[in-house]
Structure 1
Amino acid sequence: MTSTLVFDPLIPWAMFTMVAVIAALGILLAIVRGLHGWALRGLAGLVVLAALSGPSFQQEDRAPLTDIVLMLEDESASQRLGDRATQTTDAANTLAAQIKARPNTELRRITVPDGEGDAGTQMMSALSDALAEEPRARVAGIVALTDGRVHDADLPVDLPAPFHVLLSGEESDWDRRLSVIGAPAFAIIGEPVVLTLRVDDLGAAPASDGFTEIDISIDAEEPQRFRVPIGQDLELPVTLPHGGRNVIRFALPTAEGELTDRNNSALIQMNGVRDRLRVLLVSGEPHAGGRTWRNLLKSDSSVDLVHFTILRPPEKQDGVPVSELSLIAFPTRELFMEKIDDFDLIIFDRYKRRGILPSLYLENIANYVRKGGAVLVSAGPDFASADSLFRTPLGSVLPATPSARVLEEPYLPVVSDLGNRHPVTTDLPQNGEWGRWLRQIDVTATSGNVVMTGIDDRPLLILDRVDEGRVALLASDQAWLWNRGYEGGGPQLELLRRLAHWMMGEPELEEEALTATAEGQTMRIERRTLSETVPPLTITGPDGTVTELPLAPTSHGRFVTKFTGPEIGLYRLENGDQISVIGLGPAAPREFVETIANAAVLEPVIDAMRGGIVRIEDGLPRIRNVRAGRPAAGRGWIGFTPREAYETRDVRQTPILPTWLVLLLAAGFITAAWLREGRR
């Protein structure tokens, strides 16, 4: 119980002051006039003023409240390095016992886990949330057990009490780190792109020759090992082997004594793009569909088109002198012998043997296909003739044999069952509502995949792979009817665009592919195949854990599943003969960028409340009481500020000057002054 004197004026303080001034002037006048009762008059005025101030005696029944100490325990990923977890847990338990043994003190233990995604250690956010739930007037101190690697240290937090850090780890700790400093998101296929890497030794690293080894692999292939310097920026030229996503992994061997190997590797995912697609289009003669191919290829700004149309074959005899012809000579040797490998695709549109391309050149084109080139034959009546391309060395790579029949009748092109699963022909717009074509070359498929059929289910579009290259045969020259809108037209441009891009090996049109896209830690895996069923998917995690998942069919030739990776790193996906890799998370997890224990980022927060930093390996500090504003840490000790908070349960007020006493005292003093002055 506590007692205090309180005042509750009966009139406003301004009026009270005015009354006091009037009373003082009256007393002063009495003194000037020599009245002997001025002292008694002054006492009467004091009684009146005291009564107007409303004095009372207040008694409170108070219940003392305990002080609160907040203990933040860092359980982020970096705290699991070395013996930090055990070190921190033992220190927290010992310190908690000391705090609980203090009189009038409560302890709040707050766990700080990893932040969502790659946010790192969000300790100041956790502290802010904890302070919001506690009365600030009772918080006597804050202790954080951490390695100091806090990633929201710049978050402004108004602290009501001293803040101390007990630092885990050891001064002898060291670690080797691989960092990716610069890597573009895109690179041109076949051209070197420069990546910037750096290897650093952190902490108390042992003496070395200043070099280490690094393994580099692309798409989980066998890695290549190089020797690189430590502590220097390393510019590394890398050439992407294919289009689409390329996953490049860099890894350092684990050094003896380093804290962790989690930051010894880095993943870079780069998209390979073609600089320019070089296409050679050879039209055997002018016809209505020739311009369709030209318009399609010229509409794509990434395509460099070389187009030759044979207007005047060698056997033509019209008497025109050669010197007067405006046409240029067909540079056959330059195109088909010297620079053939510069082209990504060669298209023969209604071409037949006319003595322009010798057999040696056509043999060279067949070899070009086998080594990875692409040839598309758009067949007209010429393909069924004795001068057909099939009857040249190029015929050895063509997927069908002509029967010498040309079918001249209307028919509707139809996507085959296999074509419904092939990326070139699946889900074509208005499937089944197309206009008819009027001519088809009768061929017998000898290899490849028949993705479209025509009259009596005869092969119309055949796609094939020959060694490293690709070949396509379109057994009709009537695709242009769709472009002209004949009987409603059809998806001619879309079909030919897909066909051309499949020929050039675009990853999005591969019929057998295993792809994955990641959003956070969840990946969506899609398997494209021409088969009707696929085996289970095998996923190998960064730690070697193998998981099998079934793939669910979603549409023609597509099977999909989802998988949430438990940790950041490189995942290897296998399904049948298809292999793919994908990296989850950043190139270097934030928790492992800086692994050496250091509380430098927390020093502004600590200094603001005059707290301290103590290494756990040096022993736990003693706990003292300190006054607010005084230094709260010293050699071997940390301080808490007692708050002396309380809860008021009951309040009683007793007036010191009751009304009757005021009247009695005031009347008595005034009467005594009158009598004294009257006696004189």
Structure 2
Amino acid sequence: MDSVIFDPLVPLPVVWGAVAVAVLFVALALWRRLSGWWLRGLAAAALLAALANPSLQDEDRTPLSDIVIAVVDDSSSQDLSDRGDQSAAALAALEDEVAGMENTELRVVRLGDDPENGGTLLMGALAEAMAEEPRARLAGAVVITDGRLHDVEAAPDLPAPLHALLTGRAEDWDRRLTVTNAPAFGIIDEEITLGLRIEDQGAVPGAVGGQAELQVAIDGGDPQTFDVPVGEDLELPITLTHGGTNVIQFSVPARDGELTDRNNAAVVQINGVRDRLRVLLVSGEPHPGERVWRNLLKSDSSVDLVHFTILRPPEKQDGVPVSELSLIAFPTRELFLDKIDEFDLIVFDRYKRRGILPSLYLDNIAQYVERGGAVLIAAGPDFASAASISRSPLGEVLPAEPTGRVFEEGFLPEITDLGEKHPVTQGLAPAGPEAEDPGWGRWFRHIQLGQPQGQEVMAGVGGGALLVLDRVGEGRVALLGSDHAWLWSRGFEGGGPQLELLRRLAHWMMKEPELDEEALTATAEGQTMTITRRTLADEVGDVEITGPDGTVTTLPLEQVAPGRFQARFEGPEIGLYRLAEGDQEAVIALGPSAPKEFEQTVATGETLAPVIGPTEGGIKRIEEGLPDLRRVRAGRPAEGRGWIGITPREAYLTADVTVTPLIAPWLFLLLSALLTVGAWLREGRR
């Protein structure tokens, strides 16, 4: 291609300086009324032209092809219905159209789910693809998607038309469940309110109706079903029944024709906390361990302690009239009959039958356990006597009976093989070579227990049962066959883990899930799931993992500690996973239960319209037919019925440049000299 340019013989500032001087001299000649001023001006112009050196530039250009970018949405929502087939057909047609155009190339970019649950970052992928190509060659861009993108604000500045080929069907519809409000903590046995919403999207069939069945399951139990309205904010009252993590699962059954059920369920984890822990401590007589029990329970500000102690047993009456006693009468009937269900735990510390608590009261305590209460017996020597509470109606719920023998000798409490597996005592004693000597202090009294029916987790003299745990009805009972645990709190011979032991005992008896001996739990860190199976058995089966898409994976569990088996699983996608091993089940969500990709699933072009409109592009539904591809001039509409357009860029690569002066500089100098002589002759004649 030829063009005329100026190739100055001197630096450009010198040329402009010469122009200024020439203008000044011509102006001076005009001011002096010299008749040859115009000849002087022409001579100066010829001299300046010589300096400017006008030349003919000849460029050897190589045309460059136009580039069309195609961004294909391969996110999870594109797996719904037949959208994958639609995308493949649209891409194949676009490739054929571009291949039929001269000097035009197609760049294909594929886009999956954002690993951080950011959804479909379509505009970001388009911007990255544009950054890798020369902007001057970009003739157009086409996105093949369902229109559900989550980064429209990242749309790049396009120099050419942008088009969208939409997958999906006009009759698509979907139902989803969302949790709008869920507290992180809740007080046990007090009602909390969760916010829910069930809504339908798309072309909802008339037969679906405005009601939905909401199923609510807590901790994997049997779900409860409620009929709730669709499209309204709901407030659902929930009462937490235990401390620790409460897993609440909400689900709505899938309907015929619905796009997906991936967004029909949600899981909420709420940490249950006790407002106040009410404990009734019943002491049979004053002794050194009584103060330890009281101080231990009173050290926790969240514990409301009611201490019932017998200071004046009947056999020690000294004749003082009752009217002169300073002690306040204890409300035994109110505590042991009327309000016994208000206590979370009842502790009997060296208590024996003296007729102070009638058999009716003790029978009521046994029924309290059957209904779900918790009783801890710290047995003293009286437990082995004829006045033992094991010979009362309370004995029906105790896990062992005394043989009548009491060992008054030093012994070291030991964790049994079963105790190594039980969460109450697991890890209290060091494992490995140090297990023979845990560094604990000795106790000096052991009440021999016969015919234990529960779980023997600690042993005493001769390997006999020392701590026995049992489940009775809905409640739990613990029997400690010694009243010398207080020696540990005093640091005798190094002491021992009394505080931790009693804390675990109390939490196990109050049914904290973290201390259940049979449980299947899972924790998540990113997409990695750690599955833990606690059991008292020697071995367990494989765990079945059901993914969000219904795929079932079987994973073996490996023993990592006595009674504890674990496995790690890398979740392939975000969503709700269901775990099962034997009769144990658990639910865990990797990321949100319904990923962002499934919050909106019905295809639409509304989100893309503000980006495509300014580029003169178009939005076409693939189900209505694949459009042809045409070339249009810049600034003209780039879409019409059955077609979309790209703008030719006519970019080129300059291979060589040749510069040839139009006129030799000496000719300009000769012309300038002749004009100067002409001016002199004209002015000289005058």
TM-score (norm 1): 0.93
Correspondence for 1:575: 581
The Cα of 1:570 is off from its aligned counterpart by 4.1
The Cα of 1:506 is off from its aligned counterpart by 1.5
Correspondence for 2:41: 42
Correspondence for 1:513: 519
Does the C-alpha gap of structure 1 residues 71 and 550 become closer, same or farther in structure 2, counting only changes over 3 Å?
same
Map 1:74-153 to 2 at 5 A.
Answer: 74-153=73-152
The Cα of 1:449 is off from its aligned counterpart by 2.1
1:408 partner letter: E
| Alpha-carbon displacement from aligned partner over 1:523-576 (angstroms, at most 9, x marks no partner) | 211112223322322334455544332211112221110123345544333334
2:443 partner letter: W
SS at match of 2:147: coil
Cα distance in 2 between the residues matched to 1:141 and 1:414: 78
Correspondence for 1:461: 467
Q: Superposition RMSD on alpha carbons, in Å? A: 2.5
Does the C-alpha gap of structure 1 residues 575 and 624 become closer, same or farther in structure 2, counting only changes over 3 Å?
closer
Correspondence for 2:186: 187
1:404 partner letter: G
Contact 1:121 / 1:150 at 8 angstroms: preserved in 2?
yes
Does the C-alpha gap of structure 1 residues 215 and 459 become closer, same or farther in structure 2, counting only changes over 3 Å?
closer
Correspondence for 2:554: 548
Contact 2:50 / 2:669 at 8 angstroms: preserved in 1?
no
SS at match of 1:85: helix
> What residue ranges of structure 2 are gaps of 5+ in the alignment?
none
1:249 partner letter: Q
Cα distance in 2 between the residues matched to 1:370 and 1:294: 26
Does the C-alpha gap of structure 1 residues 10 and 660 become closer, same or farther in structure 2, counting only changes over 3 Å?
closer
Name the stretch that deviates more: 374-383 or 605-614. 605-614
2:421 partner letter: R
Correspondence for 1:470: 476
Correspondence for 2:382: 382
Name the stretch that deviates more: 137-146 or 669-678. 669-678
Which residue of the other structure, out of 517, 530, 534, is the alignment partner of 2:536? 530
- 1:252 equivalent to 2:258? Answer no
SS at match of 2:154: coil
SS at match of 2:124: helix
Contact 2:452 / 2:468 at 8 angstroms: preserved in 1?
no
Correspondence for 1:440: 446
Correspondence for 2:372: 372
- 1:308 equivalent to 2:308? Answer yes
Cα distance in 2 between the residues matched to 1:543 and 1:113: 17
Contact 2:576 / 2:594 at 8 angstroms: preserved in 1?
no
Name the stretch that deviates more: 645-654 or 396-405. 396-405
Does the C-alpha gap of structure 1 residues 87 and 550 become closer, same or farther in structure 2, counting only changes over 3 Å?
closer
SS at match of 1:601: coil
2:491 partner letter: G
Contact 1:445 / 1:462 at 8 angstroms: preserved in 2?
no
Cα distance in 2 between the residues matched to 1:168 and 1:507: 47
> What residue ranges of structure 1 are gaps of 5+ in the alignment?
none
Does the C-alpha gap of structure 1 residues 33 and 547 become closer, same or farther in structure 2, counting only changes over 3 Å?
closer
| Alpha-carbon displacement from aligned partner over 1:646-679 (angstroms, at most 9, x marks no partner) | 1111112223344433443333333344445446
Does the C-alpha gap of structure 1 residues 590 and 236 become closer, same or farther in structure 2, counting only changes over 3 Å?
same
Correspondence for 1:399: 399
| Alpha-carbon displacement from aligned partner over 1:401-431 (angstroms, at most 9, x marks no partner) | 3233332222222222222222222222666
Correspondence for 1:498: 504
| Alpha-carbon displacement from aligned partner over 1:498-518 (angstroms, at most 9, x marks no partner) | 122222222222222221112
Cα distance in 2 between the residues matched to 1:548 and 1:614: 44
| Alpha-carbon displacement from aligned partner over 1:252-299 (angstroms, at most 9, x marks no partner) | 333333333333333333333433322111111111111211222222
Does the C-alpha gap of structure 1 residues 34 and 457 become closer, same or farther in structure 2, counting only changes over 3 Å?
closer
Correspondence for 1:321: 321
2:263 partner letter: N
- 1:342 equivalent to 2:348? Answer no
Cα distance in 1 between the residues matched to 2:291 and 2:549: 56
The Cα of 1:602 is off from its aligned counterpart by 1.9
Cα distance in 1 between the residues matched to 2:255 and 2:553: 30
Contact 1:220 / 1:572 at 8 angstroms: preserved in 2?
no
Cα distance in 2 between the residues matched to 1:346 and 1:32: 122
Contact 2:529 / 2:570 at 8 angstroms: preserved in 1?
yes
Correspondence for 1:161: 160
Cα distance in 1 between the residues matched to 2:112 and 2:126: 12
Correspondence for 1:669: 675
Contact 1:537 / 1:573 at 8 angstroms: preserved in 2?
yes
Correspondence for 1:611: 617
Correspondence for 2:425: 425
| Alpha-carbon displacement from aligned partner over 1:203-239 (angstroms, at most 9, x marks no partner) | 2223344323333333444433332222222222233
Contact 1:76 / 1:114 at 8 angstroms: preserved in 2?
yes
Contact 1:180 / 1:587 at 8 angstroms: preserved in 2?
no
Does the C-alpha gap of structure 1 residues 127 and 11 become closer, same or farther in structure 2, counting only changes over 3 Å?
same
The Cα of 1:153 is off from its aligned counterpart by 1.1
Correspondence for 1:206: 205
| Alpha-carbon displacement from aligned partner over 1:128-155 (angstroms, at most 9, x marks no partner) | 1111111111111111122211011122
Name the stretch that deviates more: 418-427 or 659-668. 659-668
Correspondence for 1:291: 291
Does the C-alpha gap of structure 1 residues 176 and 279 become closer, same or farther in structure 2, counting only changes over 3 Å?
same
2:133 partner letter: E
Cα distance in 2 between the residues matched to 1:492 and 1:385: 26
1:535 partner letter: G
Does the C-alpha gap of structure 1 residues 47 and 460 become closer, same or farther in structure 2, counting only changes over 3 Å?
same
Correspondence for 2:195: 196
Name the stretch that deviates more: 7-16 or 144-153. 7-16
Correspondence for 1:217: 217
Correspondence for 2:69: 70
Does the C-alpha gap of structure 1 residues 426 and 56 become closer, same or farther in structure 2, counting only changes over 3 Å?
same
What is the count of residue pairs matched by the alignment? Answer: 679
SS at match of 1:387: coil
Name the stretch that deviates more: 279-288 or 360-369. 360-369
Name the stretch that deviates more: 393-402 or 144-153. 393-402
The Cα of 1:107 is off from its aligned counterpart by 0.9
The Cα of 1:636 is off from its aligned counterpart by 4.4
SS at match of 1:148: coil
Does the C-alpha gap of structure 1 residues 403 and 262 become closer, same or farther in structure 2, counting only changes over 3 Å?
closer
| Alpha-carbon displacement from aligned partner over 1:362-398 (angstroms, at most 9, x marks no partner) | 1222222223221111112221222111222222222
Correspondence for 2:226: 226
Contact 2:167 / 2:622 at 8 angstroms: preserved in 1?
yes
Name the stretch that deviates more: 7-16 or 91-100. 7-16
Contact 2:263 / 2:593 at 8 angstroms: preserved in 1?
no
Contact 1:176 / 1:263 at 8 angstroms: preserved in 2?
yes
Contact 2:452 / 2:465 at 8 angstroms: preserved in 1?
no
Cα distance in 2 between the residues matched to 1:249 and 1:420: 33
SS at match of 2:47: helix
Name the stretch that deviates more: 333-342 or 657-666. 657-666
The Cα of 1:610 is off from its aligned counterpart by 3.2
SS at match of 2:603: coil
Does the C-alpha gap of structure 1 residues 239 and 615 become closer, same or farther in structure 2, counting only changes over 3 Å?
same
Contact 1:218 / 1:249 at 8 angstroms: preserved in 2?
yes
Identity of aligned residues (%): 63
Does the C-alpha gap of structure 1 residues 577 and 588 become closer, same or farther in structure 2, counting only changes over 3 Å?
closer
TM-score (norm 2): 0.92
Contact 2:78 / 2:84 at 8 angstroms: preserved in 1?
yes
Cα distance in 1 between the residues matched to 2:356 and 2:81: 75
